[in-house]
Amino acid sequence: MFFILSFFLTFLTIYSKNLRENLLVGQTKRFNVEKNDLNTIYVHLIPHSHDDVGWLKTYEQYYYGLNNKVQWAGIQYTIDSVVRSLFFDQTKKFIQVEIAFFKLWWDEQNDDVRNKTKYLIKNGQFEFINGGWCMNDEATAYYEDIVDQMTLGHQWILDHFQIQPTIGWQLDPFGHTSAQAELFALMGFDAWFFSRIDYQDMNLRKDQKKMELLSIVDQYSIFTHINYNHYEAPPQFSFDSLHNQDPIVDNQNSIHYNVDKRADVLVDYFKQQNQSYIGNILMHTLGTDFGWSNAPMYYKNIDRLIKYINGNKQKYNMQIMYSTPTQYVQAINQLNLQYPTKVDDFMPYADRPNAYWTGYFTSRVSLKLLIKQLGRFAQIQRRFISTLLLNGKSQYVQVNRQQILDAQQIFDQALATNQHHDAVTGTAKQYVTDDYIEMLCNGHQKISQQLYKIMKELIEFEIQDETSQIVFEECNYNQTASSCKLVYEQLKNGNAIQINIIDSKNIPIQDYVQIKVPKINLTIYDQTNKILTGDIVCINNDDDCELYFIYTRNPKQIIEYFRILPNQETPSAIIVLPQGESLQYNSTQDYIQLNNSKQFKLTYKYYLSSEDKQYSGAYIFRPRDSSEEANEFGEIKTHRLYIGKLIQIFYIERDYVHTKIKKLEHNEDTYEIESYITEIPIQKENGKEIVMIISTDIQSEDIFYTDSSGMRMQQRKLNFRPTWDLDVNQPIAGNYYPVNGILQIQNNQTGEVVAILNDRSQGGTSLHSGQLELMIHRRLLKDDARGVGEPLNEKQSNGRGLNQIFQHTLTFFNKNNQPNQARQFQYIQDLKPIIIFSNCKNEVFPQPVKSFKITYPRDLEKLFTTNGQAITKFYLQTIGVDQYIYRIHNLGEEGTFQLPELDQFQIVETTLTGNQLWTEWLDKKLNWKVQEGLQQPKDQPEHNSTVLPQQLRTFRLTKKSNSNQ
C-alpha cells in the first residue's frame, strides 16, 4: 500500500508541476517581495465554503444533506469533492473553517483518505483557517465560551495534524467587537478577516482605502482585513452548482467562446477593487453558503480564467493565483506598507438605512439564558474534575477517567456548537433552535450523571455518611416547584435535604444561596453543624417559596456542604410575612429605596415594531416611530414589602410583569431585580419589544459604557461613531449595543457610577442622562427579510407568548474608591456555584466536617489563591495525561496578580488556546507599520510574572514525574 501511494505521489508531483507552469500562477509557499512588479496587480483567490453550524437546517442536516427542500447543502460532499480535486492538482487551494463539520467527515474516512488529506494539509493546499469548532458570534457570545469553542477546535487540529491555525475568519457575524480582536491576537493569529460592517462605514473605507487596518486593544494588535464583496465570488463568477452561471469557454473553435470577454469583466472588477486597498496585492473569496459540492466544475472554470489572464500580462497587468489567507497576509506583510488603526469596535451593524441589526442582541431569550448558565456550569465542573484528576483522591475519577472525559467532550461540543453566529444569536429557525436546546440538555445530562457518581463517592469519603440509597437532583432558582421534586418530597415528609455546593470562587467573600422550598419553617446547618440564619419568602402564599441564606466562601474547600430540615419549634429560617404598611408606590415616577440604599426608578416599556417595509425581526430592531417614547408595559396591580433578617424584597405586580426587588444586607447599595414576564400579548399585526429602564440622578449626559463580550468596557456616545460622521436615521435602534455583562453610566466629575449586570446577552443603551435601558424580551409577527424566513414568535405550550424570568444586579458605587465594584459582581455571577441536592438519613452531619480530605494539591492552591487587589478568575482543563491548560483572567479594573513559583508542576505560557508556546509565537509574529501620527502597536506584548488588570493569559501545566501531592 505504501509503495502504491509513493508511486502515485511521484506521478502527481510531475503532473502538477506541468499544470502549474501552464497556468502561470506562480504559486509559492511564501510570496517573494523581490519579484513584485508594482505595475502588476496580484490577486489571491480564496476558495472556501461558508458552512453554518445550523441555521435553516440543523447541524447534522447540513452535513448529511438532509431536508434539502429547505436549503440545498451537503457538507460531506463538499469536503469529498474538494479533497479529490486538490489531490490531483497541487496548484489548487481550499480553506476549512468549522471543525464541527470537518471532524464529522474525518471520523467517517478510511486510512487512505486520511493519509491523502494529511498530505494536502502538509503541502499547504488544504488549510485550516480560524479552526474553532464553529464561527462564533461576537455580540452575544460570552468571552469564556468563545475561548472554549476555539480551544476545542485548535486542540483537535493539534492532536491530529500538529499544526496551529494563524488566521481569524469571521466573515458572517453581524458586527465585530474589540474582544474578538484581542482574543484572536492572544491566540497567536497574524490577522483576521470579516465582512459585515455598517454600510456608512464601508462606503467611506472603500473611498479612503481603509479596508485594511490594525485593530488595537490595549497592548494587543491584529491586522484586520475587510472583505470587498462579503464572502462571495466576484459577481457573475461563482461557478458553484448552486448558481446558474454560464461556464467559461476557451475553445477558440467554439461559437460559445467567451473567455476573452469574461476575463475583461473580471479584470475590470479587480481593478475597481484595487481602488479601495493599499498596495497592489488583493485578496478575494471564491465561495458562498454551502458551496463547492462540485469542486471540479468550479476549479475548471476559474482555471481557464487564470490561464487566459496570466497569459496576457501585457494587456491586463494582472496575475491571479489560488491562495489562502495565510499566503495573502505573508505577501502584503513583506511590502512594509503603512496602515490606519482602529481602537474602538465595529458595533452596531446596519446593512442599509433603517436596518440596524440590534434585535438579535436579545432574540430567543430562553436559549440565551441556557447557553449562559451552562457555559458557567462548564467552567466550574471542568476545574472540579481536573482537580480530582490531579490530586488523585477520587478512585471513581481515576478508574473512569475516559468515560468522564467522553461525557465532557459531548457537553463541550454542544456548548461550542451553540456559540455559532446563528445559534446564540437567536437567528435560526424554531425547529433548529429546538435542536440546539436538545443538544445542550443532552450534554448537560451526561456530565451531570458523572458528577453525581463522583459526588456519591466524595460524600462517603468526606462526610462518612451512608449513601446506598442516595439520590441527586439539580434545581435552579428560576425553575418551578414541580421541577424540584426531591427537595419538596424530602422536606414535606419531615426529612433533611443535603446541599452540595461545588464552588470555585477564590476569595473569602460572602455569597448567598437561593433555593426553592415548600412553605414550612426550616433549620440550616453548615458542615460543622453550625446553625445558619435564613429567610423564607412565599410571594404568592403557596408552596412555591424561596429560601435565602448567606455563607462565607472558604477558598481552600472544593465542596461546601449544608443540610436543611423541617423545624417548626426552633427554626433558623422562618416564613417572612408581608409588612402591614407597605412602601408607597403608586406610579413609575416613585423612587424605590430599600434598607437606606441608593434610590432609583424602575419602569417596563415596549416599542411597537415597525409597519414599514423594513420590519423588526430576529436580526433587526426597528421601532414603529423612532421619535416616540416607548409605551408603558402593564399597569401596577399590587405591591408588597417583605422584611426578613437577611433580605428585603419589594414585590410589584403588573399586568404582565411580576417584579421582585431584593436587597441583601451584605451588599451595600446593590439590588437584585427579578422580572417575570408572564407573556407578551400581541394585538393586530404589531410585534412588541420589551425594555426595562432604570432611572437615577446621575448626570451621565450622552455617554454610557458596555462590556465587550464580558471583557473590557467600551465607551459609547449617543448618535456618534468615533471614526466617521454618523447619518442618524434610527435614533433608538442605532444607539443599541450588545450587553453581555455590564451596562453602566457615570458622572465623570464626581466619580458616581451605576451599573446593571444581566444574566444573558441583551441589547442596551442610555437614551437619556441618568438612565439605563435594556431590551429584555421580544415577540414579533413579521420576518425581517434577512434569510431566516419566519417571525420571532416564541410561544408556550398553551399558545400564549413565551414567559421568562430575568435576573439583573443593580449596583451604585464611586469609581474613585471602588473601581472594581461592578467587576466583583460579575465575578460572583460568573462563578455562581453548582448546587446539587441529595437526600440524607441524618438530620445533621454525622461528624462535623472540619478537616477536609478533598483539597487542592499544594501548587494548585498557590495558582488558585488571589494575591493583592486583583479580581482573578482561574480555569483548569485536562488536555492529556498529566497535562492541563491553566488560564487566568484578571477581571478587575485595578490590581495585579503575581504568578507563584511551583514545585510539583512545570508551567510554561502558551497562546490562548494552548496550542503553541507564547515565546514561539512571538518569534514568528508578523509586525506591521502604521500611518504617521497614529497610535503605535506594541510589537511584543508585556507578559511576565505579573498579570495586569483585564489581562487574560494561558499556561500549560505538566505534572512532574517525581512530584507528590
What is 549-594 written as a DSSP string? EEEE--TT-SEEEEEEEE-SSS-SEEEEPBPSS-----STTS-B--
Sequence-distant (6+) residues with CB within 8 A of 866 are 506, 507, 555, 872, 897
| Cβ pair 696, 735 in contact under 8 A | no
Using DSSP's 3-state secondary structure scheme, residue 658 falls into: strand
Query: Which among 642, 663, 645 is positioned nearest to 810, based on CA atoms?
Result: 663
Cα–Cα distance between 2 and 461 in angstroms, integer? 55
| Cβ pair 49, 298 in contact under 8 A | no
Query: Which among 455, 368, 377, 371 is positioned nearest to 832, based on CA atoms?
Result: 377
Neighbours of 884 (CB within 10 A): 25
Helix 365-391 × helix 430-458 angle, to 10°: 30
Sequence-distant (6+) residues with CB within 8 A of 171 are 50, 135, 193, 194, 195, 196, 227, 230, 231, 285
Cα–Cα distance between 179 and 476 in angstroms, integer? 30
| Cβ pair 885, 151 in contact under 8 A | yes
Cα–Cα distance between 226 and 229 in angstroms, integer? 9
| Cβ pair 396, 113 in contact under 8 A | no
Q: Which residues, listed in sequence order, are joined to residue 537 by a DSSP beta bridge?
A: 546, 576
Place of cell 454551502: 290
Q: Is 344 a catalytic residue?
A: no
Q: DSSP class of residue 459? A: I
Provide the residue count of the chain. 965
Reduced to 3 DSSP states, what percent helix, strand and coil does the chain have, rounded to the nearest 5? 30, 25, 45
Q: Which residues, listed in sequence order, are joined to residue 85 by a DSSP beta bridge?
A: none
What is 662-710 written as a DSSP string? EEETTSTTEEEEEEEE------TT--EEEEEEEE-S---TTEEEEESTT
Q: Say how many Å lie between the first and final Cα of the chain, rounded.
A: 49
The active-site residue, picked from 89, 172, 503, 783, is 172
* Strand residues in 80-181 grouped as ranges (E): 94-96, 126-128, 167-170
Place of cell 419566519: 790
Q: DSSP class of residue 529? A: -
Neighbours of 853 (CB within 10 A): 12
Q: Is 953 buried (19+), middle (13-18) or exposed (0-12) by CB count in 10 A?
A: buried
| Cβ pair 754, 693 in contact under 8 A | no
Query: Which among 445, 227, 210 is positioned nearest to 337, based on CA atoms?
Result: 210
Q: Distances from the Cα of 290 to the Cαs of 50, 242, 303, 321, 964, in angstroms?
A: 6, 9, 21, 23, 53
Cα–Cα distance between 960 and 490 in angstroms, integer? 47
Q: Distances from the Cα of 292 to the Cαs of 76, 221, 242, in angstroms?
A: 11, 34, 9
Query: Which among 304, 270, 314 is positioned nearest to 23, based on CA atoms?
Result: 304
Neighbours of 248 (CB within 10 A): 22
Instruction: Write down the H helix ranges in 796-876.
Output: 821-830, 858-863
For residue 375, what is its C-alpha cell? 457555559
Active site residues: 172
